[in-house]
Structure 1
Amino acid sequence: MVRRGLMAWLSRVGVALVALCCSVSVLYMLACSPRGDPRQLAFPRHESLAGKEEYQAAIHEREGHQKDYINSLKQQVAQLKDALQERSRQLTGLQGQSNGTRGAGLDQVLPKGTQADLLKFLHSQMDRAEVRSGAKLPSEYAAVPFESFTLQKVYQLETGLTRHPEEKPVRKDKREDLGEVIELGLETLNRPKDHGHTGQRVFSASDFIEGIYRTERDKGTLYELTFKGDKNHEFKRIVLFRPFGPILRVKNENLNTARTLVNIIVPLAKRAGKFQQFMQNFREMGIRQDGRIHLTVVYFGREQMSEVKGILENTSKSAHFKNFTFIQLNEEFSRGKGLEVGARVWKGGNVVLFFCDVDIYFTAEFLTTCRLNTQPGKKVFYPVLFSQYNPSLIYGHHDSIPPLEQQLIVKKETGFWRDFGFGMTCQYHSDFINIGGFDLGIKGWGGEDVHLYRKYLRSNLIVVRSPARGLFHLWHEKFCLDELTPEQYKMCIQSKAMNEASHGQLGMLVFRKEIEAHRRKKKAAMKTNTKKV
C-alpha cells in the first residue's frame, strides 16, 4: 500500500516536472523568437514623451547591468592573473634553488603530486621544442622564423598592410612579455656566483645588445638574449623558454668571439662597378670597424677581371689588408660552384663562412650577430635581409636621393624583409663540409641556396632564421628577357614590381593622372576665388 502510494506520488512529481520543463521551453522559445524588431518586442513604441522616457530608462538599466557584469569579469580575470603570477614566481624561484634538478623542492609550495606533474609537463614542452638541439624538418615552410628585438624596437617579418618591419612594441602584452624576459635575464646574470664574493659586476639594461624569439604554437616561446660581457668581444647569452606557463631557464653561457674569423665568400662575374661599391663597404665595416675578417672572391671568366683585381689590390695597399683570396675560374657562372670552391679552398682553422653577394651591404654589428648565431655542430644562421626599394621612386627626383648610408633605414617606405631568399647565410666551415655543400648540378642564379637550406633543416642542427637589421640588399634594376614565355615574363614583371616600391607608392604611380587633375582643379578654383575678392 505504502509502496503504491509512493509510486503514485513519484508519478505526480514526474508529470509536474515534465509540465514545468515544457513551460520553460515555451517561454524560452518566445523570448528568443527572431520575429519582429527585438526593440519593439521588449519595449513597445509609444508616441508620448512618457513612453520615450520609459524606453530610455529601460536601456540605461540594461546598460548598467551589463557594466556590472563586465566589471565582475574584470575582477575575476585580475584575481586569476595575480594568482598565476604568484605561482610563476614560486616555480621560478624553486627552479633556481634546484640548480637544474627537475621538480626539486616543489612540495614545499604546491600540494604533493601537483607540482611534480606541472613541472614535468612544462619540461616536456621544452624537450619537444628546438631548445637544446635541432629538429628534422620536412621543408623550408616548416621552419618557424625568429623575430629580433632591442630595448626600443621589434624587427618582425609578418607586417601586412598595417604593421611595420620595425616598430616599438605598441601592444601592452608584447611590452610586458619582452620586458619580463629581459628582467629575468638580468636577474640570472646578477645572481651571486659564490658566497662571500662582493666584487661581482652588476649587469643593467644598458648591457643588453639584442634578443631573438619565436613561438611554436604547440610548445611555447624560445628566447635568446645577448648581453655585453666583461671584456671586448666577450658576451653573455641567456636562453629562456616559456612553455605556455612560467618561464624556465635553459642556459647561461659565456661567449668569446675575439678570435672568431669570418670568411666572406663572394662569387662574381663582371659587375666591376658593383664590386667597387662593395669594397667601400667592406673596407669600412669589415676592415676598419671589425678587423677579424677574410675575403674570398671567386671570379668567373676573364671579362672585367683586371678591373676587379685592381680594386682588390688597391684596397689591400691602402688599408694594409692581406687577408684575401682571389680565385679565377674559366667557366660559366654558377653561384653554387663559386661558394663551394671558395669554402673548400680554405685550409685554416674552423672559420665562420658568410656567403654573400656583391649587391649586399652589411654593418659591423651584423658580423657580430653572424658570429653569435652560429655554433659548430649546433647552429647555423639564415638572416632575413632588408631589401631596398628603388631610390628614384622613394625619393622622387634623382637629385634628391641621399647618400647610400642614409638610405639604409628599416622602414615600410624604404624596403621590405626579403623572407623568400636563403642565399645569405653564416655557418661554420665544418658544418658546411659535413652537410655535403651545394648541389653543383645547379647552374646560373637560384636554386642552390634553397637546396642547402633544406639540408640544414633536415639535419640535427638548429637553424636560426630572423630579421637582421644590419644586412641590406641594395636595389638594382631587374631585366625581363624577351626569350621568356608569356607566363614567365609576367612572373618576372611581378617580381620586378615587388622590388620597386611599397604598396602605397605604387598606388600613387597608378593614380598619378587623377592626382594631377585634382591639383589643377584646386589651383583653378583658387584663382577664381581670388579674382572675385
Structure 2
Amino acid sequence: MDRELYMGSPEEFIGGEMEGKYCYGGFGYLLSRALLLRLKPFLENCRNDILSARPDEWLGRCIIDYTSTNCVGEYEGLRYHHYELGKNSDPSKEQSKQFKKALTVHPVSDPEQMYRLHRYFTEIELQKTYAEIAKLQAEIKNVSVVAFEGNRSAHWPVGINPPFEPKSRFEVLKWEYFTEEEIYSCIDDSPKCELRGIDRMDVADVIDVAVGELNKKYKPILHLKKQQLINGYRRFDPIRGMEYTLDLQLEVVNQKGHSRSITKRVHLVRPLSKIEIIPMPYVTEATRVHIIIPLTQQDRSYVDHFFEMFASNAFEMSENAILTFLFIYDPVEAQQVNQNDIFGSVKTQINAYERKYPTVKIPWISVKTETPSQIKFMDIISKKHPVDTLFFLATVNTNVNSEFLNRCRMNSINNWQVFFPIHFQDYNPDVASPNQPHPASVDLVKDSGHFDRGIFEESCFYNSDYMATRTQMAADVQENEEILETMDIYEMFVKYSGLHVFRAIEPALHQRYRYQACNPRLSEDIYHRCVQSNLEGLGSRSQLAMLLFEQEQGNST
C-alpha cells in the first residue's frame, strides 16, 4: 500500500531536455494511491510551472519533479503488457501472443473496433472458463471413485446439483410432453396447443445442442443429421433447472458416404444460472403506511375480528400506520343512511377504539355506487392524500401485523416497484376439521390452508405511482369508461405503469376462510379467478376426497 508506483509504457521526453521517462498516455498507466497522496500538494505548482501540449508528458514531468519517480514497464516480475494496433486491423485476425495477453491496446479508432476488441477478449475469457470447468469436472470424477458410494456419488451432469427429491406424491415433478410443433400441457388446460414463442425457441435450441453433442462424440467416424423429433419430455427442477429427454431419429453417414437411420435417446439439463443482484433504490422501514379497508354490507360480520387483531398488532404496538375505512353504499342504502345506516355499528366501534386509544384516529369515507370497483375507490382516496403516501389496499378479512407492514414498506419502491402479496387462506373449517370445534388460530401447514394465487385484492403502492399509471390509461378510459369497472388495480399496473410488479407469497399475511361473492360485472378473467379461488379454498384434495367417500358410504348405507 505504501509503494509509489508509476507504471505503463515508458517513453523518453521529447528533445532530451529532461532526464527520466514518462508513461505514454495512449496505452494508459497505473498510479498507486501512495504516489497520488504524495503528489497532491504539488498539483497546483505543476499547473502553474509546467508547460506542455501533451497531458501524459505534463503529468510525467510533474511526478518526476516532485516525487523523483520514473515510469516503469516492469515491476517485481509483472509486466505492463500493451499492444499497438495497426490501422483498420481486425482483432480476430491478430495471432501474436503479445496481443492475446495485452492489458491495453492502442489506438482504438472507432466504436466498431472497440466492439470487436471487447468480443475477442470476452471469447478468450470464456474459453478459459470452459477449460476451468472441464478441469473441475475431471477432478470431481477422480475424487468420486474413492468416495463411499463410488461413481454414484458424482451426480450427472458433473457439478450440477442433484435432482429434487419429493417428500410425498403431491410433490412429484410433472413431465411435459412435446413435439416440434405442439406441447401437451397448456395453460388453459387444453389437451394440446401449438408450441410458440420462447417455448418453440427453447425446443429448437435443445435439439440443436443434442445433435451437436452427438456429433462431438462420434465424429469423424460417423456424421449425424437430425431427421425428426419422435418424443420430447421436459420438466422444471427447482434445484437443477430444466431437464429434457429427447428421442431423436437421426441419419447416420459413415466415412464411406453410406447412410442409414437410427434412433437415439438423449438427456440434457439447462442449469439454473447464478442469482443476480439487481441494484434497487434505497427504501426504509420508517415510512407510514395508510391501510385502506373497503367495506360492503356483506363484510360487516368480519369487522369485530378485524378490530381485535388490528388493535393488538398495531394500536397497542404504536405501529406507524393509519387505518382508513371506505364504506360502500348502493343507491338504496345511501338514501336510507339517516334513518337506517347499515354501517352505524361500525362507526360506533370506530368511536370506541378512538376513545380507548387517544393517539389513534380512524378516518372513514362514504361512497355510493352500484358496481364496486378498486380503481374508482382509489381515485377518491388518491385525491385526499399527498403524492408520497404509501397505500396498503386490504380487505376486512386480512390479519395485518408489523411483520407484513415492514415488507410492504421494503417491497414498495416509489417510481420503481409495486407489491401484490399472496396471502395464506384458511380452508373451510367444516372441510378441514369436520365434526370438531373451529380452531381459534390456524398454523401455516398444507392441511389447514393454501396460498391463494387467484386473488389480487391486497396491494402496496405509492400514490404517485398510482396517479402516474392512472394518467397513462386516461385515453383508453375516454374510449371505454367500462374498463374502470371491469379492470382491477393489478391489471392496471401491469398494462399501463411500466413499473416492476412484484408478486410473491406472504406468510405474514393471513386470512380466515370466507366465501367471496363474485361480481359478474367485472371482467371475465377477474370473475373466473374469484370463482376458482372459492373452489380451491374449500379444502385440500385429500380432505375433499374423504368427504366424498363418507358421502358415498352414507348413501350406500
TM-score (norm. length: structure 1): 0.46
Q: Which structure has the highest helix share of the two?
A: 1
Q: Which structure has the highest strand share of the two?
A: 2
Structure with bigger gyration radius: 2
